[in-house]
Each structure stands twice: as structure tokens, then as C-alpha cells.
Amino acid sequence: MAFSRGIWVIGAAVFTIGFSTTLAMPLFTTYAARDGQGAGGLSAAFIAYAASAVISAPLLGGMSDRIGRKPCILAALALTICGTIGLITAPGLAALAFARGMQGLAVGLLAGGATAWAAELAAGPEAGRRAAQVTTLASASGFAAGGIATMAAIEIFGPGEPPLTFWLHMTALATIFLLVFFLPETKTPARVAWLRMPSFPRGTLPLSLSMLAAWAVTGTVITAVPTALTEAGYPRLGPLAVCFMILVGALVQQMMARIAARSLVLIGLPVLVLGAGLVMWGTLHAALPALLLGGAMVGSAAYGFLYIGGLAGVSEKAGLDRARAAAGVFLVAHIGFCIPPLMAGFAMDAFTAGATLTVFWILLAGFAASLMWALRGR
């Protein structure tokens, strides 16, 4: 199957921006300790990504139709460059919050135009499918690769800051910026509404809430679990478990296309609960096998079963309003990525990791059970 050069350039842009979102992940607890903060401070910096996405999504969702595809992708790359510069020049939680905010805006700009531009450049009867294949794979693999690359760089070259991956990422972003600049524009700017508000089709609430549960767990695993393990004297176990979770999730995501959406969600919810239980038990006992197995289950459920199932299920019920319905799913998911990790972080600072993670798991199990009951009743 032939792919045009333009599709690969846009795929590279999607990959490098996705890469940025986990680039600094192995250093999260280092930044928090340096600034004298615990899980709450780290969570507050971490959720800047989701918060900026929630606030900006209604404004940025239709931007590529209004001003063209190229300006949006170039702006997304420029914002990502600014975020990485902040991490290089002033490493700490403030820079992390700034970088995460820039990344959230970048992803908002990217989501509105990357796949559409790739399809328009490819042309032909299968252009849309080919473009979606490239951008979906690029996004998932970039998200998985950022943290793994930085963790490998630290292991190979030592803990000096900034890691080599930060400089390589800057170089890649600058190169891709130039390549994107010379791609042809395919969209004539049009008069469209500045705000593209999300919609919530009737009967899709359990599907959207399953995404909220999935992202609540992944956000908590990314922030609270490494913090608890670092405080217990095992600073390397947390990043390892998180990277493994993301990697397995990205791989499983590519295998979910042919399974019915409702079935994916009904499978994914119990897998998510069981995986979260293993991760939390492994955290409290510093047990690497439980952390890896639980992380694999959480990644498979969150990024595979529930992501694909929830999004596909909502799209099926949305009819011609799929774009706004998908925006609604991501709005709910990003709320899950914000509030539960933040609450868990401050609870860990106020109480103990054991009490916080136990209560979190009990609430998750009850929430997942109620969603499964609602889905089975339809």
C-alpha cells in the first residue's frame, strides 16, 4: 500500500508531539522532590495537560477548518517546542506544568487537522483509512516511546539533566517543523463557528464514563504510584511500571478494531479493575511482577478495550454528528484525567499511600460495576 510523503511527515509530527507528553515522565518524582512537593504537587502539575485540553477543545476543535491545516500543525509543533525548552532551562514542577499545558494545547490543535490533512494529501478512495492508520499508530507509539526513551537514556548515560532525549526531541521537532512548512496547504479557510461544542448522544453516558474511569486510573498510576514507590525507597520501579503500561496499551490498541464496541467496554471494565488492584498491591509491597502484570492489564483496558470501545460506541450512536460526539467523549475522559489523580495525590499527602490507594480501588470497583450494570441493561 503506497503512502505519500505528506502522510509520513504528518505522522512524524503526530509522533513527536505524542512523544513529548511522556518525555519527562521518568523525572516526575525528581522534580517533585527537588521542589519539596509530594504526590499532590506532582498531580497538580501533571493535570495541566488535561486542564488545557478541556478548556481549549471547544475553541481549537474546528480551528483547522477556519484558518487551514498547516497553521494549526505548525502552531502545535511550536507549542511543543516551547514546552520542551521550559523543561530544559528550568526543570521542576513549574516547568512541568508549563510544558504539560503547552502539550495540551498542541494536541488540541493537532486533533482537529492532522488526520484530515493527511487524508487530503493522500487523496484516492482509501485516503481516509490510510491517513487514520498512520496518525493513530503515530499517536499511540509516540505516547509510548517518550517515557521509555528517557528512562533508557538515564540508565545508559546517567541521571544528569536534561537527559539526551530532551535535546534529540528538540532537534526532531525543529526538523519536522521545516518539513511541515513546505507541505502544500489543502484547506481553503472558511467561515465556521469559533466554538465547536461537544455533544452527548442519548444512551452514550455509560460509554463516556467508562473512558473517565480508564483515564482516572492511568492518571493516578502515572502520578501516585511512582511517588509512593519513591517514598518507599524504590524510585526506579514506578517509571518502569508506567512505561510498561503505556507500551502494552499502545500495542493492544492496534488489535481492537474488529470487536464490537459494547463487548470491548464490558471486557475492559473488569480488566481495568483487576489490573488497578494488582498495580496498587504491587505498589504497597514493591512487587515488580504485580506492577508489570497489573500495568499491562490497565494499559490494555484503558488504551485498548475502553478507548476503542467507548469511542466507537459513541460514534455509532452519533450519526452525522460524530466529531462533536467524539469531542464529548474526550471532554469526559480528560475530566477523569484531572480530578481523580489530583484528589488521590493530595489524599496521599494527607493520609497514607495504603489508605488512599485502597479507597481509590474500592470506589473504582463500585463505579465499574454500576457501568457494567447499565450497559447490560441496554
Domains of the chain: 1-196 (1.20.1250.20), 199-378 (1.20.1250.20)
The pLDDT of residue 257 is: 67
The pLDDT of residue 323 is: 65
Question: Is the confidence at residue 353, as pLDDT, over 90?
Answer: yes
pLDDT tens, residue by residue, 212-228 = 999 999 999 999 999 99
Residue whose C-alpha is closest to residue 240's, from 282, 281, 268, 212: 282
pLDDT over 90, % of the chain: 60
pLDDT over 70, % of the chain: 93
- What's the rounded mean pLDDT across residues 105-129? 76
Residue whose C-alpha is closest to residue 215's, from 35, 340, 42: 340
pLDDT tens, residue by residue, 56-86 = 777 776 677 778 889 989 999 999 999 999 9
Of the candidate ranges 23-32, 49-58, 138-147, the one whose mean pLDDT is the lowest: 49-58
Confidence of residue 110 (pLDDT cuts 50, 70, 90): confident
Question: Is the confidence at residue 342, as pLDDT, over 50?
Answer: yes
The pLDDT of residue 230 is: 92
pLDDT tens, residue by residue, 281-308 = 999 999 999 999 999 999 999 988 998 8
Question: Is the confidence at residue 1, as pLDDT, over 50?
Answer: no
The pLDDT of residue 317 is: 80
Of the candidate ranges 49-58, 305-314, 343-352, the one whose mean pLDDT is the lowest: 49-58
The pLDDT of residue 15 is: 95
The pLDDT of residue 87 is: 95
- Is the model more confident about 320 or about 294? 294
Residue pair 70/116 in contact (Cβ under 8 Å)? The answer is no
Phi, psi (5° rounding) for residue 124?
90, 170
Residue whose C-alpha is closest to residue 323's, from 206, 210, 193: 193
| 27-30 contacts at long range (C-beta below 8 A, 24 or more positions apart) | 27/91, 27/150, 27/161, 27/163, 28/96, 28/222, 28/223, 28/226, 28/227, 28/239, 29/226, 29/227, 29/230, 29/235, 29/238, 30/159
The pLDDT of residue 318 is: 74
The pLDDT of residue 126 is: 65
Of the candidate ranges 105-119, 230-244, 346-360, the one whose mean pLDDT is the lowest: 105-119
